[in-house]
Homo-oligomer: A and B are copies of this chain.
Amino acid sequence: MTEVVDDFKAAFRLHPAGVALLVAAGEDGPVGMTASSVASVSADPPLLSFSVAKRSSSARVLTSSEMLRVVLLGTHQTALARAFATSGADRFTPQQGWVDDPAGVPDLPDAPARLLAGVRRVVPAGESWLVLAQVERVTFGAAAPPLLYVDRAYRAAS
């Protein structure tokens, strides 16, 4: 099994992905994490999928929330992507551009697009949960080239 696991990881390092933040309201304040697994599944109804590691401290909140926000990042937001992928880093500071939201799920107006979505299905998948969520509202910010993750580095599309 070890060999296929290592090969699997090596293959997906070659596979580029857009970078998003997943944000939800926890009992002790907002939680968030960087994700490179957000994908469009269906347009009508508008459904997206993503996965979160079960061991992640935010996984329980993200999978059990009524509503979460998927923030699609631009290349000017690499520092944010790193912060939300690093345990103990500063999160949800006003300096990062977060603004409060009536539902307790902070918004990031500086990001090119933010999708408010309700969790519809949570499928156990090995070390992770595979989540299907229905998008209720989309908000667009300033146009910016999308942020890309490939070969363990943040990049832009050429």
Contact = CB atoms under 8 A, between A and B. Distances in A.
A135 B41 CA distance: 21
B126 A42 contact: yes
Main secondary structure of the interface of A (DSSP, over half): strand
A39 B42 contact: no
* Max chain B C-beta neighbours (<10 A), residue from A12, A38, A125, A150: A12
Given A7-B138, A132-B123, A157-B157, A38 B15 contact: yes
A126 B44 contact: yes
Interface bin, chain A: 35 or more
A51 B41 contact: yes
Interface string A1-40: 1001101111110111110100000000000000011111
A112 B157 contact: no
Contacts of A8: 40, 43, 46, 115, 135, 138
A41 to B, nearest CB: 4
Given A8-B135, A138-B7, A140-B11, A17 B43 contact: no
A115 B13 CA distance: 13
B40 A39 contact: no
A50 B40 CA distance: 10
B135 A146 contact: no
A121 interface: yes
A123 B121 contact: yes
